[in-house]
């Protein structure tokens, strides 16, 4: 167990001394997850609201599809995005393979069902009297939609936190679409996988600690905001 | 005479393609009046209020507001009509923000704190104690009163209340009554109020409307008599009452038919008085006496076993009989005074 303990001590040193390679992976992860979260929230919150609020033909079937996509394997998304972005693929001309935006596309596909499903659940779970109350107070149609979203903000926050947890911890998409290129597309999770294969635990443990810290900050923020 | 605020023509409403839950051929609500809606559960009171609040669009027919067609979200009614539902919803924010919400929508946020405090005081809540409380820091009755304050703050042209006293104590019910009357007197607000508390309604309403199975009953439908009915002697049908006594009625359309009895057709005598032949004679106890606001008559509720019958009396008659809650009395009415509701 000495190698683990030693790895932990070295990990602390890497973080405290500002090791460039370690922080490159941290920043790549933060950037790519920022892109993917922005896209998945922009698309997923309205989509989830639509799915949760309105009644339409095929709603139950659509809900079933979205719920099924929650279990989509990251390697399958990686495979599909790779196929689309490779030179032979329909989007090959965009030159996004082995780039952070390329990884972000895959992670958006990963996070989108989470945001849609949990937002729809949050909207469905809201009191049935909310709509009546808002209309009787004089809202317009637009104000009605915005007010319902605001009332369901806690559920949407939980959806965002859950989706963020999923994108920051995935390996498959980042590895397959990003290529794990040092200083460029290497994220925390792909770096941990690589360093562990090399038997270099220190950097893996250091990045693991950063991942844990991010998870703590996200969950603490949700906890703090829920109390408000 | 003031023009009607609401005019309903050939209205039919159904949910999700089901059978009609409300069918009103014609109805007018005078501006500045207080109209009470009474009727058992499922009679269509809440549905009618939602339609009058333009929360939903009727399946068929038309509701005109100030003699103009109106629909949900239309500018003609959005800021003029408001409804307090039976189970009011408070938004996940402070009491102040809840009461101020409608004011802000109307661009009346100037001097908002004073307006919110004034509205809260109308329902007996001190702003300094309640304004900053969160929605989850209120009891059920307080939440009901905050919701009413949010409507009163708007000084609406039409205020629709669905069971406003259902979850509040007697003192709060009195406060709500005072606030309602003040809204009408100060701002000319038209009120339509649904309540099971008939006495509370009688005290404030100019007129009342009896709904049953989604239809308006003729005026005078103060008592509903439920079956099952059994064939009896002399061509009458009857129903034995819990605690003794028999109710005799004319032949019903079916054994589960619902009878309607006008309170004015019921007479009251002291217990032990001779029973006029051919009339229903039931012994009961006075459970409540209320002054009817518009007629100045006394509305007496008489408990006959599990049956509660409403009787309307002149004040002189009440005085002559020395009526008070708890007094044993005898009531009489002709079986032929019972009419039958439309089975539809």
Question: What percent of chain B has a predicted confidence (pLDDT) above 70?
Answer: 97
Q: How many CB atoms lie under 10 A from the CB of residue B47?
A: 20
Structural domains of chain B ordered from first start: 4-216 (3.40.50.300), 223-340 (2.40.50.100)
Which residues are paired to B340 by β-bridges?
B259
Q: Which two tokens stand for residue B4?
A: 């009607």
Question: Quick one: pLDDT band at residue B82, thresholds 50, 70, 90?
Answer: very high
**First-to-last C-alpha distance (Å) of chain A:** 44
What is the reported pLDDT for B233? Answer: 82
Q: Which residues of B touch A141 (CB under 8 A)?
A: 73
* Residue recorded with tokens 């990990």: A11
Q: Whole-structure pTM over 0.80, yes or no?
A: no
pLDDT range class, residue B7, cuts 50, 70, 90? very high
Structure confidence at residue A227 (pLDDT): 65
Distance from CA of B337 to the nearest CA of A (A): 41
On whether the CB atoms of residues A209 and A47 are closer than 8 A, the answer is no
**C-alpha to C-alpha distance for B230 and B248, rounded to whole angstroms:** 10
Instruction: Give the pLDDT confidence score for residue B130 in this predicted structure.
Output: 95
Question: Which tens digit of pLDDT belongs to each residue from A51-72?
Answer: 998 888 999 999 999 999 999 9
Task: Please say if the pLDDT value at position B293 is more than 80.
Answer: no
CB B137 within 8 A of CB B125: no
Strand partners, B216: B211
Residue of chain B whose Cα is closest to the Cα of A139? B105
The whole-angstrom distance between A143's CA and the closest CA on chain B is 9
Is B68 a residue whose pLDDT tops 70? Answer: yes
- Asked if residue B38 has pLDDT above 60, the reply is yes
By Cβ distance, the residue of A138, A151, A154 closest to B106 is: A138
With CA atoms as reference, report the closest residue to B33 among B8, B2, B55, B54: B2
Distance of CA B138 to the CA centre of its chain: 26
Does the pLDDT value for residue A217 go beyond 70?
Answer: yes
When pLDDT is averaged across residues B231-246 and rounded to a whole number, the result is 84
Beta carbons of A78 and A147 less than 8 angstroms apart: no
Percent of the residues in chain A that have a pLDDT greater than 90, as a whole number: 62
Residue B220 has what pLDDT? 62
Query: How far separated are the first and last CA of chain B, in Å rounded?
Result: 35
Query: Looking at beta carbons, which pairs linking A3-8 to residues 24 or more positions away fall under 8 Å?
Result: A3/A201, A4/A201, A4/A205, A6/A201, A6/A202, A7/A201, A7/A202, A7/A204, A7/A205, A8/A202, A8/A205
Check residue B80 and give its pLDDT: 95
Which of A6-20, A22-36, B119-133, B325-339 comes out lowest in average pLDDT? A6-20
According to the model, what pLDDT value does residue A218 have? 86
What mean pLDDT do residues B263-277 have? Answer: 84
Per-residue confidence at B219, pLDDT binned at 50, 70, 90? Answer: low
> Where residue A195 falls among pLDDT bands split at 50, 70, 90?
confident
The alpha carbon of residue B39 is apart from the nearest alpha carbon of chain A, in Å, by: 22
**CA-to-CA distance for B142 and B149, rounded, in angstroms?**
10
Three-state SS sequence of A145-209: HHHHHHHCHHHHHHHHHHHHHHHHHCCHHHHHHHCCCCCCCCCHHHHHHHHHHCCCHHHHHHHHH
> How far apart (Å, rounded) are the C-alpha atoms in residues A65 and B343?
47
Q: Are B299 and B202 in contact (CB under 8 A)?
A: yes
């Amino acid at each position: 167990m000495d190698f683990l303990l030693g790895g932990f001590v070295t990990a602390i040193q890497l973080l405290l001394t500002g090791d460039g390679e370690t922080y490159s992976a941290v920043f790549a992860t933060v950037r790519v997850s920022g892109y993917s979260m922005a896209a998945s929230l922009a698309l997923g919150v309205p989509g989830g609201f639509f799915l949760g609020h309105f009644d339409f033909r095929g709603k139950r079937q659509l809900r079933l599809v979205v719920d099924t996509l929650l279990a989509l394997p990251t390697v399958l998304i990686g495979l599909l995005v790779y196929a689309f972005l490779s030179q032979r693929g329909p989007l090959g001309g965009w030159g996004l393979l082995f780039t952070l935006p390329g990884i972000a596309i895959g992670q958006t596909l990963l996070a989108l069902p989470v945001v849609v499903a949990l937002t729809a659940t949050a909207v469905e779970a809201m009191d049935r009297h909310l709509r009546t109350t808002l209309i009787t107070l004089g809202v317009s149609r637009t104000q009605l939609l915005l007010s319902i979203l605001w009332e369901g903000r806690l559920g949407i926050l939980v959806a965002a936190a859950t989706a963020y947890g999923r994108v920051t911890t995935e390996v498959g998409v980042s590895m397959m679409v990003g290529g794990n290129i040092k200083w460029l597309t290497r994220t925390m999770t792909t770096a941990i996988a690589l360093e562990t294969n090399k038997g270099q635990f220190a950097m893996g443990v250091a990045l693991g600690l950063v991942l844990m810290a991010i998870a703590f900050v996200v969950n603490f923020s949700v906890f703090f905001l829920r109390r408000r | 005479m003031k023009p009607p605020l609401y005019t309903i023509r050939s209205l039919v409403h159904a949910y999700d393609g089901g059978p009609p839950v409300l069918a009103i051929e014609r109805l007018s609500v005078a501006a500045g009046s207080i109209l009470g809606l009474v009727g058992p559960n499922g009679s269509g009171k809440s549905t009618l209020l939602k339609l009058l609040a333009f929360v939903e669009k009727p399946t068929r027919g038309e509701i005109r507001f100030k003699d103009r067609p109106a629909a949900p979200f239309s500018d003609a009614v959005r800021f003029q009509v408001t409804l307090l539902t039976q189970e009011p919803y408070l938004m996940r924010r402070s009491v102040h923000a809840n009461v101020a919400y409608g004011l802000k929508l109307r661009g009346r946020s100037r001097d908002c704190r004073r307006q919110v405090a004034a509205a809260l005081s109308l329902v007996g809540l001190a702003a300094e104690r309640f304004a900053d409380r969160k929605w989850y820091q209120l009891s059920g009755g307080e939440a009901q009163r905050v919701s009413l304050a949010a409507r009163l703050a708007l000084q609406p042209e039409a205020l629709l209340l669905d069971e406003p006293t259902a979850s509040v104590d007697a003192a709060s019910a009195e406060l709500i009554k005072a606030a309602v009357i003040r809204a009408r007197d100060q701002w000319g607000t038209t009120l339509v109020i649904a309540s099971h508390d008939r006495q509370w309604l009688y005290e404030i309403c100019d007129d009342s409307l009896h709904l049953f199975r989604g239809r308006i009953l003729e005026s005078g439908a103060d008592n509903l008599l439920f079956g099952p009915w059994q064939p009896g002697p002399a061509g009458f049908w009857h129903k034995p009452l819990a605690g003794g006594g028999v109710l005799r009625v004319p032949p019903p359309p079916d054994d589960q038919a619902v009878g309607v009895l006008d309170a004015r057709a019921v007479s009251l005598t002291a217990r032990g008085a001779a029973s006029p032949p051919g009339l229903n004679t039931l012994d009961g106890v006075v459970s409540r006496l209320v002054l009817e606001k518009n007629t100045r008559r006394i509305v007496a509720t008489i408990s006959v076993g599990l049956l509660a019958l409403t009787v309307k009396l002149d004040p002189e008659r009440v005085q002559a009989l020395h009526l008070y809650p708890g007094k044993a009395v005898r009531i009489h009415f002709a079986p032929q005074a019972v009419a039958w509701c439309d089975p539809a």
